[in-house]
Chains A and B, each alone.
Chain A
């Protein structure tokens, strides 16, 4: 059959639209995973035993099973309990929660490695425990952990391709649509790969800049 890339430009509009969806989903899921990660970390470290232990079990389940399986659970599971969300929302929740667990692992370690004196000093000047965590400890922990969280976000971008399986019209599914019209899988999947690669390079560039900023501010 051979390769013929001249069919690509005619379908570039679908691909670009898919690209926009991929970026939108990745950004939304990234935000969810970042703030969710902080909340999860605080629960895993400070919640009462009766909440903490089941929560840790849940984290363990999330880390020990494939994202694709989790997406099926969330997408079909929500429908089963009567919540009929659009596929892309289920995709964002699935991706966001999955990576929130990984971020939480990082943030937990970082919180524990913030000097104990910081908490004590904050308590001494009259902040409550919650305030001290929120205003003194967590900001320092998060700063330390931004570079590895950046790596998780790059992984999130790539894993966002999985939401095509539950029918979200992002970049991967857009490529599939173009393939449906042209029967040229190699060309369009390669084009999609190049778009992912380009977004990835941009993210790495931003990550390097942020890392430099953090290095200066320290």
Chain B
């Protein structure tokens, strides 16, 4: 193992790790937004919205994220959407993650007993109030852990933007594998950084999960 080489290139990996973190944070924010909208659409009173929500989830969970990214980045200009690689990465991965999060959020909401909402209505709360004040707080607690799983997958999915040349961890590893012919060392550098990011995120989610539980 070439420790010397690893020490020489690791600053570049560290810099790339920040890009991966930034990508992950932005993608997660967009994913959560899309997931909330998606869940709202899927649970809507209106059949059209329910259909749009279901189609969104089905298509984006049913096709490879890499292809979705390519359609957006390479195909976008054909329909007037001109994005640089980083923007395309965030938007493409965010929309993709949103489809998974839609199902997580929806699952948590429908798992709350209907009687809870009905009781709220009986006590004179409006439909929205009883959702907002009774169903949502309970569903929110159930969401934390599965959303954490979504987040974990999303962080690993950010590696895909290497294929559209965003200089993040995987792209950096790939470039240095090409120039140094030391795949194992480069994998180790990138792998350790990924695992730190993922471990830290996992701990954060576990902390949040404990924080929101009422026992």
Residues in A with CB closer than 8 Å to B59 are 193, 197
Q: Check A158 against B64 for contact (C-beta < 8 Å).
A: yes
Please tell me if A165 contacts chain B, counting CB pairs below 8 Å.
yes
Please tell me if A161 contacts chain B, counting CB pairs below 8 Å.
yes
Q: Check B157 against A1 for contact (C-beta < 8 Å).
A: no
Partner of A69, one of B63, B187, B199: B187
Majority-rule SS of B interface residues? helix
Q: Check B71 against A3 for contact (C-beta < 8 Å).
A: no
A196 vs B78: C-alpha distance in the bound complex, in angstroms? 22
Q: Check A3 against B67 for contact (C-beta < 8 Å).
A: no
Residues in B with CB closer than 8 Å to A66 are 156-160, 170, 194
Chain A nearest CB from B166 CB (Å) reads: 12
Please tell me if B162 contacts chain A, counting CB pairs below 8 Å.
yes
Please tell me if A64 contacts chain B, counting CB pairs below 8 Å.
yes
Chain A nearest CB from B51 CB (Å) reads: 17
A186 vs B69: C-alpha distance in the bound complex, in angstroms? 11
Count of chain A residues near B, Cβ 8 A: 41
List which A62-78 residues lie within 8 A (CB) of chain B: 64-70, 72-73, 76-77
Partner of A197, one of B62, B71, B79, B184: B62
Tally inter-chain residue pairs, CB-CB below 8 A.
Answer: 122
Nearest A-chain residue to B64, judged by Cβ: A161
List which A1-21 residues lie within 8 A (CB) of chain B: 1-3
Nearest A-chain residue to B155, judged by Cβ: A66
Indicate with 1 or 0, residue by residue over A44-82, a CB within 8 angstroms of chain B CB atoms: 000000000000000011001111111011001101100
List which B58-97 residues lie within 8 A (CB) of chain A: 59, 62-68, 70-71, 74-79
- The segment from B104-112, B130-138, B173-181 found at the interface with A is B173-181
Q: Check B157 against A3 for contact (C-beta < 8 Å).
A: no
Partner of B199, one of A64, A67, A161, A165: A64
Residues of A within 8 A of B (CB): 1-3, 60-61, 64-70, 72-73, 76-77, 79-80, 158-162, 164-165, 172, 175, 179, 184-187, 189-190, 192-194, 196-197, 200-201
Residues of B within 8 A of A (CB): 59, 62-68, 70-71, 74-79, 156-160, 162-163, 169-170, 173-174, 177, 181-184, 187, 190-191, 194-195, 198-199
A sample of 24 inter-chain contacts (CB < 8 A) reads: A61-B191, A66-B156, A69-B173, A69-B187, A69-B194, A72-B173, A73-B184, A79-B183, A80-B181, A80-B182, A80-B183, A158-B64, A160-B64, A162-B66, A165-B162, A185-B70, A185-B74, A186-B76, A193-B68, A193-B71, A196-B63, A197-B63, A200-B63, A201-B62
